[in-house]
Amino acid sequence: MPDFGYKIAKDRQIDYDENKRLIFSEVAAWEPSIYRCISCGTCAATCSAGQYTDYSLRKLILLVKRGEEQEVITNVSKCLLCGKCQLACPMGVNTRNLILGIQNAVKKTTYAV
């Protein structure tokens, strides 16, 4: 391909019909407080793992909701389960149990964590 000095960005459309959202169904049953998340990012700002990696709980929850499961699998094991985010969340999301639920759902849907 000739070098024009720019490249076309990869398509980032999210197809809710295509994405099966199996992990989301499991997680919502396990920890319904996922519905209270407003994507404010407070958890990500206080996150222990986020200080050293590109991990963000805010992003992880969005990925779960959108059904972008391959990215969920890549990111979920980066959490240290320290629970700091739970103290910071303004919406009272039970974040630690939520993350455990995501890890369990990933295993249950036969993906490797």
Give residues in contact with ligand SF4 (CB under 6 A): 37-43, 46-49, 57-58, 61, 79-85, 89, 91, 93, 95-96, 99
Q: How far apart are CA 86 and CA 91, in angstroms?
A: 10
Q: Are residues 37 and 59 in contact, defined by beta-carbon separation less than 8 angstroms?
A: no
Q: Please state the closest distance from residue 9 (CB atom) to ligand SF4, in A.
A: 26
Q: Please state the closest distance from residue 6 (CB atom) to ligand SF4, in A.
A: 34
Q: Please state the closest distance from residue 17 (CB atom) to ligand SF4, in A.
A: 25
Q: Is 64 or 69 the residue whose CB approaches ligand SF4 more closely?
A: 64
| Helix orientation angle between 69-76 and 95-108, rounded to the nearest 10 degrees | 120
Q: Are residues 65 and 55 in contact, defined by beta-carbon separation less than 8 angstroms?
A: no
